[in-house]
């Protein structure tokens, strides 16, 4: 008894917040599980010994998947008082009984928009979660569909007309700059502090990007309370990190598209920002570019900067911070430290003290190449490199790392292509020959985010290990005195569209071919698409009518207009929207069979000990059947993150093979897997209703060549 009492006393001394954690992490009322965004649940009814008995408890079909346009569901649903709130492929908001999946109500933003503005164009963005707020009987869901932030009655699914403009706020407004003709939406949910709703945005990544300022709105009225300029204005901290004193008037991006975390006791909100636009050429934005690519700690009440840490200086590689920081309390040398853990696309975890932003392990400024072929570019001479934690993925891609699982002819072709491009590792300058990005444009870590387990002190991060190829192309900014609609359309296509759809209209990376788009779109519907955008495609409302006609002429190959004279207008060719370089598209560096050009693993799940900085374990994540038959587990690209539980489990879908898996959190052993109706490119939620534990995952597919789905599937133990 004395020994047991001593052990208990030690446990209480070393882990004084366990009781608090048991309460704080027992529900899933916020995207990411809690405002700390650690995707952790104290529920343990499902555990390592019985997880193999899991079965489908219920399935909810949204019935609005779009298989032609590769719709997706990326939502991490929330569960409040036994009600599950989520979104559909077409951005409908719904409420279900979380115990059985029965629908309570549905709010359709398209119907609402058509009621308000019959000729309006709906911007269909992806959605990764919604936000709940209540005060007495006033219960609200706030979520973004298109460029509109809606406040919805959580009880019956109706608009709350006292919020904003009859229940909604146009996110294009209130950015301290005229952005009416620019693309502004939000993919990740905002976060609540008292009666404030704090939100970021997704903006274009081209030269026409809106600024990515962070805003807080009154959750009751919709009035803007504060704004933090992520691209500082004169007199503000960070303004001098831009060499051009008027950069703030023209440059966009530096946006928080990946969501927030919150330390309510300290009154701090945390964010990770993306790169400044244009992503791959910085000749018009010389300098370190604060607050792009930065971890931010802001006063949640006022928006005042408390501290920041920039993870990439003058980013020209699209190394956005892909997920909100995880707020963790780590054990380091028996000492407990409240910290911020920020996984990155580059495979690093920046681990910083929560109150000060000071590194917990040393971070070194490491020299990188500044030799560039691009006129006007000025690369930064150093980049931050954490000494610990150790990287959770490979960070070099040398010739000996080429994929040798293919036949000899394919391998030799791959080797020739590798040698024809600039390659090797991170921070290699962009080039006209093409630069192989590894880590790739989608990480490393991505928007699914990490999970952190206070019991094991381990941070769990799934990673992509797939190289991408970016090739720069000089753009002729001159405009002939006489130009046909076909030539004008080609010029505009190279300026605005080639980045995604490639120089030959045949698509690149995750972006589809539009070579035969005339089979699905006519002039009117294609114009609506260009002006409104759709999912990953930003909108181009700033293009003039004649420019849209010229684009249609080129893309739809309209013979009747191709040789007609385009009405030339004066264009300021040295403006910030007309850059001397563009990229030829987003291409993965692959074998001719379509496999990643690097040796496996192509996807992995990693456990990082935040006390020591060491990798505790690593397993491959995902499989290709054709390689599995040969006894080779390769892993696959993965989108969506893990959830970890006190029952000893990590739940994760994310892979292109339609699987949902459970791993032992202590050693990475696979304990259970099942096949989903479509790939679960989302993060699961763990919750309990009437004493029964459930795990639910959105199965939307639509990425990586997988079929689109419309299902939310919940699992539980048999009664």
Chain segment 335-362, per-residue pLDDT in tens: 999 999 999 999 999 999 999 999 999 9
Contact 485, 561 (CB under 8 A): yes
Total domains, the chain: 1
Please report which helix (H) or strand (E) contains residue 551, including its range: helix 545-556
Section 93-110 average pLDDT: 97
The CA-CA-CA angle for residues 153, 159, 163, to 5°, reads: 95
Structure-token pair, residue 441: 């444009």
Confidence of residue 492 (pLDDT cuts 50, 70, 90): confident
pLDDT value of position 75: 98
Residue 544 has pLDDT above 90, yes or no: no
The bridge status of strand 382-386 relative to strand 692-701 is unpaired
Residue 221: inside a domain: no
Residue 390: inside a domain: no
CATH number where 529 lies: 1.10.760.10
Confidence of residue 540 (pLDDT cuts 50, 70, 90): confident
- From 381, 373, 342, select the one nearest 473 (Cα to Cα): 373
Q: How far apart are CA 292 and CA 689, in angstroms?
A: 42
- Tell me: the pLDDT tens digits for 612-637? 999 999 999 999 999 999 999 999 99
Section 304-310 average pLDDT: 98
Confidence of residue 536 (pLDDT cuts 50, 70, 90): low
Section 557-586 average pLDDT: 74
Section 701-709 average pLDDT: 96
pLDDT value of position 243: 97
The CA-CA-CA angle for residues 48, 50, 51, to 5°, reads: 70
Section 566-593 average pLDDT: 77
Residue 303's SS3 state is: coil
- Tell me: the pLDDT tens digits for 145-176? 999 999 999 999 999 999 999 999 999 999 99
If you count DSSP H runs as helices and E runs as strands, how many of each does the chain have, helices first? 10, 43
- From 131, 188, 126, select the one nearest 324 (Cα to Cα): 188
Section 251-263 average pLDDT: 97
pLDDT value of position 478: 65
Greater confidence (4 vs 287) lies with 287
Cα-Cα end-to-end distance for the chain = 37
pLDDT value of position 10: 44
Confidence of residue 15 (pLDDT cuts 50, 70, 90): very low
Q: How far apart are CA 153 and CA 160, in angstroms?
A: 6
Residue 713: inside a domain: no
Residue 499: inside a domain: yes
Radius of gyration for the alpha carbons in the chain, expressed in angstroms and rounded: 25
Residue 206 has pLDDT above 90, yes or no: no
Section 635-659 average pLDDT: 98
Residue 552: inside a domain: yes
> Alpha carbon of 593 to those of 252, 406, 407, 698: distances in Å?
38, 8, 10, 30
Contact 217, 162 (CB under 8 A): no
Structure-token pair, residue 706: 């997988």
Mean pLDDT of the chain: 91
Instruction: Write out the residue range of the structural domain in which residue 537 sits.
Output: 478-572
Residue 424: inside a domain: no
Section 560-583 average pLDDT: 71
pLDDT value of position 22: 60
Percentage of the chain surpassing pLDDT 70? 93
pLDDT value of position 120: 61
The pTM is what?
Answer: 0.90
* Range in 377-391, 524-538, 703-717 with the lowest mean pLDDT: 524-538
pLDDT value of position 312: 98
- From 715, 671, 666, select the one nearest 695 (Cα to Cα): 715
C-alpha of 135 from chain center: 31
Residue 536: inside a domain: yes
Residue 517: inside a domain: yes
Beta strands in 108-204 (DSSP E): 131-135, 138-145, 148-153, 168-170, 184-185, 191-193, 196-199, 202-203
pLDDT value of position 534: 67
Confidence of residue 535 (pLDDT cuts 50, 70, 90): low
- Tell me: the pLDDT tens digits for 656-680? 999 999 999 999 999 999 999 999 9
pLDDT value of position 2: 44
């Amino acid at each position: 008894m004395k020994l047991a009492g001593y052990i208990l006393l030690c446990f209480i001394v070393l882990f004084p917040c366990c009781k608090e954690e048991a309460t704080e992490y027992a529900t899933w009322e916020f995207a990411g599980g809690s405002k700390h965004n650690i995707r952790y649940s104290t529920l343990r009814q499902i555990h390592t010994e019985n997880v193999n008995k899991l079965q489908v408890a219920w399935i909810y079909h949204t019935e609005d998947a779009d298989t032609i346009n590769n719709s997706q569901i990326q939502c991490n649903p929330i569960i409040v008082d036994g009600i599950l709130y989520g979104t559909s492929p077409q951005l409908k908001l719904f409420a279900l009984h979380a115990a059985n999946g029965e629908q309570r109500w549905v709010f359709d933003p398209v119907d609402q928009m058509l009621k308000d503005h019959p000729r309006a164009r709906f911007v269909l963005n992806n959605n990764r979660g919604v936000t709940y707020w209540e005060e007495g009987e006033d219960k609200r869901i706030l979520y973004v569909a298109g460029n509109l932030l809606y406040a919805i009655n959580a009880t019956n699914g109706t608009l709350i007309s006292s919020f904003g403009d009859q229940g909604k706020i146009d996110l294009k407004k209130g950015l301290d700059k005229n952005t009416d003709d620019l693309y502004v939406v939000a993919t990740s949910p905002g976060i609540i502090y008292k009666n404030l709703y704090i939100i970021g945005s997704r903006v274009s990544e081209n030269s026409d990007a809106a600024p990515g300022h962070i805003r807080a709105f009154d959750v009751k009225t919709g009035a803007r309370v504060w704004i933090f300029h992520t691209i500082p204005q004169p007199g503000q901290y960070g303004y001098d990190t831009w060499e051009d004193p008027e950069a703030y008037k023209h440059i966009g991006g530096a946006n928080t598209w990946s969501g927030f975390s919150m330390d309510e006791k300290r009154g701090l909100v945390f964010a990770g920002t993306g790169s400044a636009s244009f992503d791959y050429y910085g000749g018009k934005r010389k300098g370190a570019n604060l607050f792009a690519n930065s971890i931010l700690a802001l006063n949640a009440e006022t928006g005042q900067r408390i501290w920041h840490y920039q993870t990439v200086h003058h980013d020209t590689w699209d190394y956005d911070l892909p997920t909100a920081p995880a707020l963790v309390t780590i054990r380091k040398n028996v000492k407990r430290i409240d910290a911020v853990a920020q996984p990155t696309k580059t495979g690093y975890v920046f681990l910083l003290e929560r109150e000060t932003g000071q590194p917990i392990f040393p971070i070194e400024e490491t020299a990188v190449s500044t030799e560039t072929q691009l006129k006007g570019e000025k690369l930064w001479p150093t980049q931050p490199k954490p000494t610990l934690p150790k990287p959770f993925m490979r960070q070099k891609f040398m010739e000996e790392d080429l994929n040798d699982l293919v036949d000899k002819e394919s391998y030799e072709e791959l080797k020739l292509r590798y040698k024809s491009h600039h390659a090797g590792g991170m921070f290699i300058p962009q080039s006209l020959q093409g630069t192989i990005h590894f880590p790739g444009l989608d990480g490393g870590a991505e928007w699914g985010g990490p999970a952190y387990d206070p019991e094991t002190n381990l941070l769990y991060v799934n990673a992509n290990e797939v190289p991408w190829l970016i090739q720069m192309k000089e753009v002729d900014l001159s405009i002939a005195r006489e130009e046909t609609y076909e030539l004008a359309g080609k010029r505009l296509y190279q300026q605005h569209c080639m980045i995604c759809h490639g120089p030959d209209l045949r698509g690149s990376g995750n972006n589809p071919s539009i070579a035969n788009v005339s089979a699905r779109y006519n002039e009117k519907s294609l114009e609506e698409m260009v002006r409104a955008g759709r999912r990953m495609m930003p909108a181009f409302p700033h293009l003039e009518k004649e420019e849209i006609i010229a684009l249609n002429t080129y893309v739809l190959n309209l013979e009747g207009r191709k040789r007609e004279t385009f009405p030339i207008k004066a264009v300021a060719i040295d403006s910030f929207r007309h850059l001397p370089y563009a990229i030829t598209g987003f291409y993965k560096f692959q074998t001719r069979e379509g496999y990643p050009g690097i040796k496996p693993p192509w996807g992995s799940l990693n456990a990082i000990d935040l006390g020591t900085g060491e990798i505790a374990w690593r397993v491959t994540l995902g499989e290709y059947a054709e390689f599995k038959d040969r006894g080779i587990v390769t892993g696959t690209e993965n989108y969506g993150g893990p959830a970890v539980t006190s029952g000893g489990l990590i739940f994760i879908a994310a892979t292109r093979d339609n699987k949902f898996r459970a791993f032992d959190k202590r050693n990475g052993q696979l304990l259970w897997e099942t096949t989903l109706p479509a790939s679960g490119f989302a993060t699961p939620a763990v919750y309990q209703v009437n004493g029964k534990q459930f795990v639910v995952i959105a199965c939307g597919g639509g990425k990586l060549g997988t079929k689109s789905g419309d299902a939310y599937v919940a699992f539980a133990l048999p009664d």
